[in-house]
Copies of this chain bind each other. A is one copy, B any other.
Amino acid sequence: MKIIIDAMGGDNAPDEIVKGAIEAAEAFNIEIILTGKGEEILRSVQKMGRTELPKGIEIAHADQVIAMDEDPVTAIREKKDSSMLVGLNMLRDGLGDAMVSAGSTGALLSGATLVVKRIRGIRRAAMAPVLPVGDKGIVLIDCGANAECTPEYLLQFAFMGSFYAEHVLKIKKPRVGLLNIGTESIKGTDLQIEAYRLLEEASKDGALNFVGNVESKGVMYGECDVLVADGYTGNILLKSIEGTASFLLREIKGVFMKNAVTKLAALLVKKHVRSLRERMDADKVGGTALLGISKPVIKAHGSSGAAALKNAVLQAMTTVDAHIAEEIQSNIERMKIEEKAEKN
Contact = CB atoms under 8 A, between A and B. Distances in A.
Interface in A218-247: 218-221, 231-233, 235-247
Interface stretch (A83-91, A264-272, A290-298, A300-308): A264-272
A147 B265 contact: no
A248 interface: yes
Contact of A217 (B188, B239, B252, B261): B239
A187 B247 CA distance: 25
A190 to B, nearest CB: 7
A235 B181 contact: yes
A216 to B, nearest CB: 4
B236 A179 contact: yes
A235 B217 CA distance: 10
Contacts of A265: 264-266, 268-269
A179 B221 CA distance: 25
B232 A220 contact: no
Contacts of A273: 252, 255
Copies of this subunit: 2
Counting contact residues on chain A (CB < 8 A from B), the size range is 35 or more
A247 B268 contact: no
B264 A268 contact: yes
A96 to B, nearest CB: 31
A321 interface: no
A213 to B, nearest CB: 11
A249 interface: yes
Interface in A251-296: 251-252, 255-256, 258, 261-262, 264-266, 268-269, 272-273, 276, 280
A255 B232 contact: no
Contacts of A258: 269, 272
Contacts of A251: 276
13 contacts: A147-B181, A189-B232, A216-B237, A216-B238, A216-B243, A218-B243, A232-B233, A244-B245, A248-B248, A255-B273, A258-B269, A262-B269, A264-B268
Interface of A: 144, 147-148, 179, 181, 187-190, 192, 215-221, 231-233, 235-249, 251-252, 255-256, 258, 261-262, 264-266, 268-269, 272-273, 276, 280
